[in-house]
Amino acid sequence: MDLIDEFLRCNELIVKGTRFGKNFLKNMKTVKKQATVTWAVAMLNSATYVTLPLLRKSDVRPARHLTQDMYVIYGLEPMLESPNYEIATVMMALSIIFALP
């Protein structure tokens, strides 16, 4: 909380309506837009990575990746056969979804 309090005290020093205050707000809006776009791209990238193996037809292209088949969840052997592969894929997808935000 110390860091947040310091930022709030710093923001209180900026006088609203001055040229510096207007420029500061304009730059902060730009930074917020850039951060939002970066976050959205990261989320879309991870969602695409997780769902592509589930959407591809296996006769056209190999659909498995399961992080390039080197990620082993103990207790789900053999890892690359049904239904263990689907369970592992869902577990990996949930871990990626909950880890990134």
pLDDT digits (tens, 9 = 90+) for 8-32: 999 999 999 999 999 999 999 999 9
Mean pLDDT of 2-8: 92
Of 41-45, 51-55, 56-60, the range with the highest mean pLDDT is 41-45
Cα 87-84-63 angle, rounded to 5 deg: 80
The pLDDT value given to residue 33: 98
Per-residue model confidence as pLDDT tens digits over 55-84: 665 554 555 555 555 666 667 777 667 777
Model pTM above 0.85: no
Residue whose token pair is 């860091």: 3
The pLDDT value given to residue 60: 47
